[in-house]
Chain A
Amino acid sequence: MTYPDMWSAFGGTMASALDTDPRAAVVLADIGTHFFKAAKQKHPDRVINVGIREQLMMGVASGLAMCGLRPVVHTVASFLVERPFEQIKLNFAQQNVGAVLASWGASYDITEFSWSHFTPEDVALLDSLPNWTVRVPGHPQEAAELLLRALPGDDRVYVRLSGQANREPRGVSESFEVVREGDRGVILAVGPTLDRVLAAASALDVTILYASTVRPFDSAGLRTSVLAGRRPDVVLVEPYLAGTSAHEVSSTLVNVPHRLLSLGVRRNVEARRYGTPEDHDRLHGLDARSLGEQIRSFLV
């Protein structure tokens, strides 16, 4: 199955998963319901739209999980992660149950609403809680595979669906994938930033790692690549808040003198702008050209 974007990959994958996995239940808050019209006819009790009530989404998911079901909770990222954050903390970890949270509209995808719908903080917020697996697919096909991978478990999984994507899918893995090997530093590209990183670093002798899973963080993979090169310089390129994974790099290389450049959505920037996601890439230095300049001046 091929999908034009990650949102439709979510809708198509979950609608058919309801046919095959009797534990799966989708919890919605009026957003994304159009994917589940037919599924709601077939599985009226496992497509649950609570209305515009995000706190309740998490409570409902918690109760479903307590009774052995596998809830998949979905809405726009800001309403999924920020608005009911205490529910995420207390309805899952405190109750010792899990759920899959799948968000749509990553960072500044939804430019027509700007500030109210921008959520570059989502991964940092979930990273402040124990035992969340964080998936950041870079392509619709990866999104579909990562969702299916989350269904059999009872753990806590966040799947971050973005309108930005790489041209080609890569295999999804718990480990960082070595895309290219080089000698003068390591760049870790997360999810949809990979194509821009490849373009930015085309003339550089660096190793490029790709991550579609950032928590747990593949420390062994990063350490191996860093120690294999001649320069322990690391560039982190994340499509959400800059430096979200800096503490992971720091503890990975705790005994290795190293340098780190953390690129991502800039902190302390109040982007009261509309335009396109590519405009916002430029504002935050995440377009290929700005990435190239920042990476070259750090490594050279």
Chain B
Amino acid sequence: MTGTPPTMKVVVDETACLGTGQCAMIAPAVFEQRDDGVTVARDTEPPQSRRAAVREAAQACPVAAIRLSEGSEPSTPAAFGYDDLPALIARMTGDERHAFSSSSTKDVLWVLYDRVLNVSPDRTDDDDRDRFFNSKGAGPMAQYAVLTAKGFIRPEQLDDWGTWDSPLGYVPDRVTVPGVDLSSGSLGHGVPIAVGVALAWRIQRRLGPRVFVLIGDGEFDEGSNHEAMVLAGRMGLDRIVVVVVDNGTASHGWPGGIEQRFAREGWATDVCDGENHDEIFTALTRDHPGKPLVVVATVTR
């Protein structure tokens, strides 16, 4: 990978803002005060020339309501591979072996970002990029590690994840983390939103991108998934790929397999070993013309 341009995202926590207006004075091109005094960011991704002022404004805010996340610097090209993920996860957990091996989603995430998704850190706002929704949300260390390996997050950002000043929370947030397309945490929201994305692309005649949604077999309990599954199948939304990481956590199980539910509603289906990279890749990239695709990736608990 050649040097990717550095990125900066600006987020103002409107609920914390006291309306002192410091930021708007220091960086008027980026911050402005609404009539009620609360500051809003008029430019959430300011160019290089304005970033020094933005950093100063963030420092000056008395209640730290301005959060900045700065993406990959050209000096830190992504030079990480799959074997580096345990060390990256250890920066967050301090527990290399266990945290890595206990992640049920690490292999699916790696194959997606390494071989499937048409995304890169220098075009996180490209309308034609693929989208990835981590609907499962919880346990995001594997996703942060993969995003770091692929240059969306700087390695040192992992060290203080989950702290007050970090953009990296215990669930991923699309507003604060470059490369994250869905803010999650509560289960059962990713597939319905993906249906909306696929319908938008149909309106826009945008035939290139796909939206991949990662859910768990326990998450599939949520009825909202079933509302979305039915409509996506009936409408033939073939830009959607749902990956169910099935580690047998659903309290009441799915007799006959989760893929049977999707098949009945008109989806193309595949099943693979959720730790075998070639199997995952083959399943995720199979043809499914006119139908959405579900891949059930089985992982032993």
Contact = CB atoms under 8 A, between A and B. Distances in A.
Interface of A: 25, 45-46, 48, 50-51, 53, 55-56, 58-69, 71, 86-87, 90-91, 94-96, 130-131, 216
Contact of B200 (A53, A58, A64, A87): A64
Select the residue from B183, B199, B231 with max chain A CB neighbours within 10 A: B199
Nearest to A45: B203
A8 B246 CA distance: 48
B66 to A, nearest CB: 16
B14 A95 contact: no
Contacts of B230: 51, 53
B19 interface: no
Contacts of B113: none
A130 B15 CA distance: 8
Interface in B162-206: 174-175, 182-183, 185-186, 188-189, 191-204, 206
A71 B183 CA distance: 19
Given A58-B192, A59-B192, A131-B14, A48 B199 contact: yes
B202 A45 contact: yes
B227 interface: yes
A180 B15 CA distance: 36
Nearest to A61: B196
Given A56-B227, A62-B193, A63-B193, 17 more contacts: A45-B202, A50-B227, A53-B231, A55-B192, A56-B192, A56-B231, A60-B196, A63-B198, A64-B200, A64-B203, A67-B200, A91-B189, A91-B192, A94-B183, A95-B182, A95-B193, A130-B15
B126 interface: no
Given A67-B127, A86-B186, A130-B15, A59 B201 contact: no
17 contacts: A45-B199, A45-B202, A55-B227, A59-B192, A60-B196, A62-B196, A66-B193, A67-B201, A68-B127, A69-B203, A87-B189, A90-B185, A91-B189, A96-B174, A96-B175, A130-B15, A131-B14
B78 interface: no
A75 to B, nearest CB: 14
Given A55-B192, A56-B192, A63-B194, A95 B183 contact: yes
Contacts of B189: 59, 87, 90-91
Interface string B257-292: 000000000000000000000000000000000000
A110 to B, nearest CB: 24
A87 B222 CA distance: 13
